[in-house]
Amino acid sequence: MTEAILLVGGQGTRLRPLTSHTPKPLLPVAGVPFLAHQLARAAAAGVHRVVFATSYLAELFEPHFGDGAVFGLDLVYVTEAEPLGTGGAIRNAADHLTCGPDEPVLVLNGDILSGLDIAALRDGHRASGADVSLHLTRVADPRAFGLVPTDADGRVTAFLEKPQTPEEIVTDQINAGAYVFTRAVIDRIPAGRVVSVERETFPDLLATDAVVRGVVDDTYWLDLGTPAAFVKGSADLVRGRVSSPALPGPVGDALVLDGAFVDPLAVLSGGTVVGAGAVVGAGAVVEGSVVLPGARIAGRALVHHSVVGRHAEVGAGSRLDSVVVGDGAVVGAGNELPAGLRVGCGAVLADESVRMSAAPSTCAAAHVGARR
Ligand code: GDD
Ligand code: MG
């Protein structure tokens, strides 16, 4: 029996406008709030109790997951009056743990989709007698992450969060956002102030010769913090490239949720998910995309690797590639939106008002459109 702390208090700035009204961990990924996948995997690994460390839009979590009985979990919600950073959040949540000082506590970033064997990380931690064990993964470009070099015995030798210079890029191993702490180590994190586990707690532990293990595991791993990663993670779940006990349908090319309507002459592929109450019209092609509940995609629209927000509309014949359409926004007919464009919540793009040739940064219309 294991307890876990789930870090879910971040603002999800890189996913705006999707995160303007919904915290990143609650955005639907493969048809269910992202955390459902993490909670189901944790439960399968023998976790029985999870403390949510919330801050941004904190009140939205409990209505989704309640007491956790659906997952076979006991859930506890803790809210920081002011965001305490990752380390401060862990320390604050620890007041609600029930285990003893020598027990392992799992700590998870709330935006990681991975195939990690959580039970093996915990059991290896216990057997090693380490103070902290970190899941590490390898990425081609580590600059957006915490770099974690290890020695021949797997002991962490440094922790370099978000390296700024080429000299700092000493490894392709990064912090994958899943830790096992021996409970007593958490209790020593200073209480009642902002602490970064990455910039303060881990470097301090290394400075005091604590045993910090890095466990490199090259299983599927994705941080869902950007629009591109968000659509990829959802599509990979739908296509079964990473498994989740919480997937609400069979693995396949597309997932159409109950209450959605997809015209028989529309084509869905690449792991597209169409949410409840959404409509996709005849001749539309939707590939590798997330169509959120209540959205409407008109006939002959082409939507690739994009997110169409709740109750947003994409007009007939419009083309979207790697675009985020905010909740309630309207993309009129015949638009060609350039990759990277984000259409603000409730914005309205008139018919044929944006063409491919416009650079994303010059598409002011996307953010100044009149509200409905
Ligand atoms: N409760 C609480 N309070 N949670 C927070 C706070 C806070 O003040 N700040 C961030 N979080 C949560 C976020 O919700 C997220 O689940 C997690 O902490 C990590 O924050 P991100 O904003 O996603 O950080 P990141 O992706 O830039 O970097 C982190 O994750 C990388 C792996 O994806 C770091 O841990 C890196 O070292 C790591 O490589
Ligand atoms: Mg992240």
Q: Quick one: pLDDT at residue 369?
A: 39
Instruction: Provide the residue type at 281 as one letter.
Output: G
- Per-residue pLDDT tens digits for 254-286: 999 999 999 999 999 999 999 999 999 999 999
Q: Quick one: pLDDT at residue 357?
A: 56
Annotated active-site positions, please? Answer: 162
For residue 175, give the ligand 1 atom closest to its CA: 39
Q: Quick one: pLDDT at residue 355?
A: 82
For residue 144, give the ligand 1 atom closest to its CA: 27
* 236 CB within 6 A, ligand 1: no
Q: Quick one: pLDDT at residue 370?
A: 33
Q: Classify strands 279-280 and 261-262 as parallel, antiparallel or unpaired.
A: parallel
Beta bridge partners of 105: 3, 181
CA–centroid distance, 180 to ligand 1, in Å, is 16
For residue 85, give the ligand 1 atom closest to its CA: 8
Q: Quick one: pLDDT at residue 368?
A: 32
**Cβ neighbours of residue 357 under 8 Å, at least 6 residues apart?**
none
Contact 321, 304 (CB under 8 A): yes
Q: Which residue has the least CA distance to atom 19 on ligand 1?
A: 109
Helix (H) and strand (E) counts for the chain?
8, 30
Question: Within the chain, which residues score under 50 in pLDDT?
Answer: 358-372
Distance of CA 166 to the CA centre of its chain: 27
**Residue 291, helix vs strand vs coil:** strand
CA-to-CA separations, 355 to 72, 181, 345, in angstroms, rounded: 50, 52, 20
In CATH, what number does 3-223 get?
3.90.550.10
User: Cα(17)–Cα(20) distance, rounded to whole angstroms?
Assistant: 5
**Cβ neighbours of residue 187 under 8 Å, at least 6 residues apart?**
91, 94, 101
The 8-class DSSP code of residue 70 comes to: G
CA–centroid distance, 54 to ligand 2, in Å, is 15
User: Cα(313)–Cα(351) distance, rounded to whole angstroms?
Assistant: 12
User: Cα(116)–Cα(147) distance, rounded to whole angstroms?
Assistant: 19
Nearest alpha-carbon partner for 255 in 1, 25, 31, 55: 31
- Per-residue pLDDT tens digits for 182-193: 999 999 999 999
Domain spans of the chain?
A: 3-223, 253-371
**Residue 152, helix vs strand vs coil:** coil
DSSP string, 308-339: E-TT-EE-TT-EEES-EE-TT-EE-TT-EEPT
User: Cα(134)–Cα(268) distance, rounded to whole angstroms?
Assistant: 39
> Where do we find the tokens 């090259």?
218
Q: Determine phi and psi for 8, rounding to 5 degrees.
A: -135, 25
In terms of CATH architecture, what is 253-371? 3 Solenoid (2.160)
CA–centroid distance, 335 to ligand 1, in Å, is 36
User: Cα(272)–Cα(268) distance, rounded to whole angstroms?
Assistant: 6
**Cβ neighbours of residue 102 under 8 Å, at least 6 residues apart?**
182, 183, 184
Residues lying with their CB under 5 A of ligand 2, a single-atom ion? 111, 223, 225
User: Cα(226)–Cα(139) distance, rounded to whole angstroms?
Assistant: 15
* Torsion from C-alpha of 177, 178, 184, 188, nearest 10 degrees: 0
Q: Quick one: pLDDT at residue 367?
A: 45
